[in-house]
Structure formats: C-alpha cells, structure tokens
Chains A and B, each alone.
Chain A
C-alpha cells in the first residue's frame, strides 16, 4: 500500500493531493525522494499508520502547521516592529510621569523609575511605568479625622447567654493631637 503523495510531499507535513493545482511544481524535491525511499523500506503496518497520520493528523501536528508557525512569527515581528519607541521618547515619558506624580506622592529615587514596553495578547501594546514611592504627600493622605470614634477589633469573651454579664474588648480610635 502506497502512502499518498502530492507534487510537493514532505516528510513531516501533512499533504493531500486533490488533483494538484496547475501551479504545483512538476518535480519532486529531494525531501520527497528521501521520504519515498524510507517509506518503501517500511513494513506494511508502519506504512499503514504513516498513511493514517498523514490523512488525519493529530492535534499536535496541526499546531505545528506552517500557517500557525507563520502566524506566531508574524505576531512577534509585528509587535517588535510596532513597539520601537525611540530612546528620547522613553526619557521624555519617564520625566513627564515623574513630574506629574510628584504632585501627589514623594518618589523614592528618580533613577529607579522604569518604563517597560511589552506585548500582551489581549490588550496589545502595554506600556508600564514602575515608580517606587516613599510616601503620599500630606494634603492627599487619607484623613485621620475620618477614623475618629471608630470602633474596631471587637472580641466577645462572654456574650451573656449563660451568665448575665457581657465581656467585650474593643479598640476605640482617637487621632493624635499633634
């Protein structure tokens, strides 16, 4: 039983001849010749399973199909082509962001601010800036006045079901007057 071949049969690729188009090459490449020589030397069951694998490829073979490989490579190339931000643009971005953020927070050290450009399959191009912050500027901090009188950390030692007394510990917040 001969395994099916087409005009451009190759060893590891699925090939199926549907009559061949007018544009397929007339000569068989050296790969195909090697493939045929190997195939002739196999025994019957090996050839049968090879034929089956050619006609009905498994999922891993489909994953390595040429179209998918091309698509992967193209994605990588397009991302790296598109995200070529010039160096001076990077510095300007970092400087502007430091300026804007300094209004709200105190930045730890300006040298540690990083700009990262990456490609995310869902979002596309992602520019992320990491800024180490020492503390928030006082006028923007959460006001402690909001916590005045707040009761937290309530624990019941005795809820008064069996005895007639209730034993409770809790925290009561009063902000510093300084």
Chain B
C-alpha cells in the first residue's frame, strides 16, 4: 500500500530543500513507500506530517519585545506566527501597539481589519468579529488594538489587554494554543501594557551595541515583572562582518546578555521584499535563509528548546616565511 505521492521533482531539484537543519533530521518512522524509497535526508525533508511537540501549558502567551525599535520585532512576530500556523497550531497574533499599527501590513491583512480591540471593549462588536483570520492558514488570527486614525486610546492599559487575553482563553470556539503579542518599542506605558498578560518573552536584538544595551535594560524590567522565561533571537546577523571582526559575534552577544538563544536570523534582503508584498518571508518557495531560520526558531519555541551559538571560523593566522614583512 503506497501513500499518494505529491509532486516531488521541483522540490528535489532546488538545493534549498535539501538543507535540513539538524532539527528536521531527527529520525522518525518513515512512511511506507514500495515503489520509490528515498534516501534518509530527502525523506526527512518530505515529512510534511511532522509537527513539533507542544511543551508547556496552553495557551502559551508569548510577548515579542526588544526595547530598541527597528530590530525586527514585528517581522519576527509575523513570521513565527505564520510558521506556527503552518505547523498546525492555533495562533492569535496581537499587535499591542495602540498608536502605530504594523503587524497587519506584514501579514498582508491590512484591508480586512474592520474592528479592533478598543471596539470590543466598548461593546460595539464581538471578539470574534475583531479577529481577522488569515485565508492561507486559517489557524492564524490577527487582533489589532486600535484604528490608527482614531485619537490615542488613553483607556487601553494593562488590565484591558489582560482582559482580552482572558477572553480569548475562555472563548466558545476554544482557546488558542499560542498568543503572540507584538510589543511596541520603548519601555513606557505601551511596553508595560504588552507584557502584562505574558508568561514568556522572546527578546529580539541585533548584534550592535545600542540594541544590546536596551535589551539588557528590558531583561531587567521583564524579570521585575515576573517573566522569568526569556529567550533571545539575534536578528540581522552578518557573518561576513563577524568574520572580519567588525561586528560582535553571536557568542559575544550570548555572553554579554546571558540569555538562552532561540534563533539566529541572518541579514536578508528578502525581508524587505516580503514586507513590501505583504507576503510573510517564511512562505517563500524556495525558502530563503532567513525564512528557514525563522521556521527553526518557531520550532524551538514550540518545544521550549534552545540552541547554542557556534563560533564563526576565523581567518587562519599566516605566520612564517613572510612574517618579517610586517606580520
């Protein structure tokens, strides 16, 4: 009895899909195929039924924060949200920035946001009317806090957001398995609002000195608030600059901040292109480097796993015959 084979050849020919991460190569029972027996690496990449195993109690409320603006929080939230939806988990992504809204742009859902959480609180609409379901992956829903044209909603605070998350938890259609909260930049009222309902945090940072200083400050604030489970994603990593000793390496970053590492995302111009199109990066076929990294980070988030950074190979030291020349 053979399982029906989907169209394989295109995936086989592109080199990217044969780049499985160590995570994907975990041995599992192969589906039976009488006619065609693929090699281990190829079949590991084709196990489309595989899901990461959910660890921790549902719903897992994760806040994606960074302190400094522009390091990639919203991009991370969008891509990890879509990855989780693709794995089959039910995700609600909340854009906790009450003034400036960006998560809907990254997901390509900006035209379909009619109601927001402020209207739910006022009683103008129901909660499920304010949730925008993605057409490609229906297990992902987006909730925005307020309409950008309206006056700044001074009434939306920590209690309001906690109420919203509790309402999601106890809604009739079942609690979502993940609630991803996209935090606004800074450490003022918006930040405090966003971290209030969260149990875990994903800290997004880049390897430059300004972002790291702010990330350290945010770590202190998160621990004060009671969130102990903080994991780090290092974004916009340029290995060529690291090798040339112009940028701090991921090992340095880990040593400075002392946080567990969830993922390392290389700098990729595809991020800008996918933002402009409104098509999240992880859905690109063939997958890009950054997209693969986001997907691995999402996998690790589900399983509450962490990774360890490796040292970038240094230039070998040339010594010896010509060293009198100034070496």
Interface secondary structure of B, over-half rule: loop
Residue interface mask A79-98, B partner, CB < 8 A = 1: 00110000000000000000
CB-based contact A49/B256 at 8 Å: no
On chain B, the number of residues with a Cβ less than 8 Å from chain A's Cβ atoms is 26
Interface secondary structure of A, over-half rule: helix
Residue of B nearest to A75 (CB): B256
Q: What residues of B have a CB within 8 angstroms of the CB of A23 in the complex?
A: 238, 267, 269
Q: With contacts defined as CB atoms under 8 Å apart, how many contacts are there between chain A and chain B in the complex? A: 65
Cβ 8 A contact of B209, one of A22, A62, A77: A77
Cβ 8 A contact of B216, one of A56, A71, A73, A81: A81
Cα–Cα distance between A22 and B244 once the two chains are bound (Å): 17
CB-based contact B256/A14 at 8 Å: no
Q: What residues of A have a CB within 8 angstroms of the CB of B240 in the complex?
A: 18, 21
Given contacts A49-B326, A56-B327, A58-B326, contact A74 B245 (CB under 8 A): no
Cβ 8 A contact of A15, one of B213, B217, B220, B244: B244
Given contacts A13-B246, A15-B244, A58-B327, contact A70 B216 (CB under 8 A): no
CB-based contact A71/B256 at 8 Å: yes
Judge if B212 is at the interface, Cβ distance under 8 Å. Answer: yes
Cβ 8 A contact of A52, one of B213, B269, B326: B326
Q: What residues of B have a CB within 8 angstroms of the CB of A78 in the complex?
A: 212-213, 216, 256
Q: What residues of B have a CB within 8 angstroms of the CB of A81 in the complex?
A: 213, 216-217
CB-based contact A67/B248 at 8 Å: yes
Q: What residues of A have a CB within 8 angstroms of the CB of B327 in the complex?
A: 52-53, 56, 58
Taking Cβ atoms with an 8 Å cutoff, the residues of B that contact A are 208-209, 212-213, 216-217, 220, 238, 240, 242, 244-249, 252, 256, 267, 269, 317-318, 322, 325-327
